[in-house]
Amino acid sequence: MGKVEPATVADLKPKKKCCRKSTRCVRCPVVIHRMRKLDGDQMSKKQLSKALKKARAA
């Protein structure tokens, strides 16, 4: 996860196919869809990072 800004995950281009590992990658279509559903403008940086961690948990 390291260098990816949680606020920009919703704008990333997803990979074609999901890897389905225990911790999903940031560019996984499922993770990007879950982050798009959230309203990132109203959330703080800490809340966004927690939301990204929850979205990546399989």
Give a three-class secondary structure readout of the chain: CCCCCHHHHHHCCCCCCCCCCCECCCCCHHHHHHHHHCCHHHCCHHHHHHHHHHHHEC
Q: Which residues, in sequence order, are bridge partners of residue 23?
A: 57
Question: Model's pTM, two decimal places?
Answer: 0.84
28/42 Cα distance (integer angstroms): 24
pLDDT value for 55: 92
Break the chain into its structural domains and give their ranges: 15-56
- Summarize pLDDT for 13-41 with one digit per residue, the tens: 999 988 888 899 999 999 999 999 988 78
